[in-house]
Amino acid sequence: MQGQGTLDLAQEGGLAALQVWLERERLLLLVRGHVSLCMRGLDELTQGSSCIREVPVASFPDVNALLPAVDVLITDYSSVMYDYACLERPIVLMAPDLETYLNQDVGIYGNYVDDAPGPVITHWSQLPAAWAELQAGLHAGRLKAFVDRHAALYDSEVCSRIVACLDERDAQPSSEAI
């Protein structure tokens, strides 16, 4: 999706069909695209819906500022999943164009499906089932394995370790002084 530059967010009515489910579950779906991504169908969805809202890139240029307010992240191939995983909150991967992305676009590192921190869906109609699986804790092990693999050093001591490393480096004699 990101590499192609355009995303059909509505998926031919698939997201609009979710509105009843979102309202029943009392969920708010916030949509923020990549800075270089053109999203089609978003205006129509947000105009008539109280449960789907856009978070404009211009208003929040740094997506990381939004992450603490998000209960469940729905993303595609974005590296934001690694940042969000440090919060140890559920992640759904939305990959309607996975084969195209892997074979004709920019590609990804590793095995996208096997390494996923949560359910991988290809259509908005699969979101209610993915949500139910997350609520039941069925992907907690996947998320923990993902965090262990990709964020093992993320803890309350990260800054202390960086400062100690910098202090140690600064304490070493400069090669210019020799």
What pLDDT score was predicted for residue 40? Answer: 65
What pLDDT score was predicted for residue 109? Answer: 72
List own/partner pairs for 139-148 with CB under 8 A and 24 or more apart. Answer: 139/90, 142/116, 142/117, 142/118, 143/85, 143/88, 143/90, 143/91, 143/117, 143/118, 144/88, 146/85, 146/91, 146/115, 146/116, 146/117, 147/85, 147/86, 147/88, 147/117
Per-residue DSSP letter, 122: S
What pLDDT score was predicted for residue 20? Answer: 86
- Computed on alpha carbons and rounded to an integer, the radius of gyration of the chain in Å comes to 20
What pLDDT score was predicted for residue 18? Answer: 83
Task: State pLDDT tens for residues 68-86.
Answer: 999 999 998 888 999 999 9
CA dist list (Å): 45 to 15, 31, 82, 163, 174: 8, 11, 28, 47, 60
| CATH fold label, 6-152 | Rossmann fold (3.40.50)
- Domain spans of the chain, in order of start: 6-152
pTM, 2 dp: 0.79
What pLDDT score was predicted for residue 3? Answer: 45
Q: Which residues pair with 93 in a beta bridge?
A: 75, 120
Which ranges of the chain have pLDDT less than 70?
Answer: 1-10, 35-42, 105-107, 175-178
